[in-house]
Amino acid sequence: QWDLVAGHKTGSGPQWALPLGFEMYSLAYNKSVFADLGLTPPKTMEELKALLPKLKEFNGPGSYALAIRGSRNWATIHPGYMTTYASYGAQDFVVEGDKLVSKVNSPEAVAMTDEWVQMIKDGGAPSWSSYTWYQAGADLGAGKAAMLYDADCNGYFQNVEGASQEAGDIAWIPAPLPEGKSDIYSNMWTWAIAMNSSSKNKDAAWLFMQYFTSKEYTQWASVNAKVVDPARKSVFESAEFQAVLDKAEGFAATFDAQIANTGIQFTPQPHFFETTTEWAATLQDIVGGKYKSTQEAMDALKEKMDEIVSDVEVG
């Protein structure tokens, strides 16, 4: 739901599509590796950072602690980074007068980004800057990464019997909390289906939409295929689907712990892909040493983002 007004949060206004499924962002880890090394899964960002050196080359040369996305693309920002960013209390934009104003250089945003950059340096993949969903998830499944901070379903797909080398050894915990915080604000990605108003086959399209979002189909697809997370609460809570999730240690408990505050943490605006790709580029540049400080980098990013959205009318 959204009222189509730039700067207004999602959750109010007309519903524009029927939901099919969604993902939230949490920490998946290799439970056998943790058990063998006598390590405890982290509950906070401080605990996560302390684990990174202990997991360096845990499985020989090339293995590393934490898989996260890093490519020069908007998709690097929206999973774990944005979840941690929002949990810090940071915002991407606020409405001031009739303008959207970037807040990526706020104290909270800079502190979070500085911590994230250090985490990449201490425990990320050697080729982090090329990593997308696929490389990050595959490394967890191959026993190359000990942890994955990404979509809950990314690790889930690696854990299905026969899907990867480490299938059955993957478990989930909630996203690590910043120090002094008690609430996780996971970002959300959602899949949905809508009808073009110019369609000449509206009856057929509507029947198609109803079928693939129905309780019956969603139940079948969740239990027998790989629909996770299903959009229907009744399906998620069904005994049949819970039995499927029992094979994924901690998945359902993590979902329950995070779902209340899970939502789209970005401020809706028409230049999302451009501003967020600039954000990812800046993150790469900080890791690469282009800037003297994270503050300098985020100040420069704020100016770029303000310029990009300068034509956006809000309110």
Kindly tell me if the per-residue pLDDT of 315 is higher than 90.
Answer: no
Alpha-carbon distance 70 to 245, whole Å?
29
The pLDDT score that the predictor gives to residue 86 is 99
For the chain, give the percent of residues with pLDDT over 70: 100
The pLDDT score that the predictor gives to residue 85 is 99
The pLDDT score that the predictor gives to residue 149 is 99
Domain boundaries, the chain: 22-186+264-308
pLDDT digits (tens, 9 = 90+) for 14-39: 999 999 999 999 999 999 999 999 99
Hey, CA dihedral for 229, 232, 234, 235, is it positive or negative?
negative
pLDDT digits (tens, 9 = 90+) for 81-128: 999 999 999 999 999 999 999 999 999 999 999 999 999 999 999 999
Kindly tell me if the per-residue pLDDT of 304 is higher than 80.
Answer: yes
Kindly tell me if the per-residue pLDDT of 186 is higher than 90.
Answer: yes
The pLDDT score that the predictor gives to residue 91 is 99
pLDDT category, 13, cuts 50, 70, 90?
Answer: very high
The pLDDT score that the predictor gives to residue 67 is 99
pLDDT digits (tens, 9 = 90+) for 153-181: 999 999 999 999 999 999 999 999 999 99
The pLDDT score that the predictor gives to residue 244 is 97
pLDDT category, 294, cuts 50, 70, 90?
Answer: very high
Spelled out in words, what is the top-level CATH class assigned to the domain 22-186+264-308? alpha beta
The pLDDT score that the predictor gives to residue 104 is 99
- Mean pLDDT rounded to a whole number for the chain: 98
Kindly tell me if the per-residue pLDDT of 261 is higher than 80.
Answer: yes
Q: Are 150 and 24 a contacting pair, CB within 8 Å?
A: no
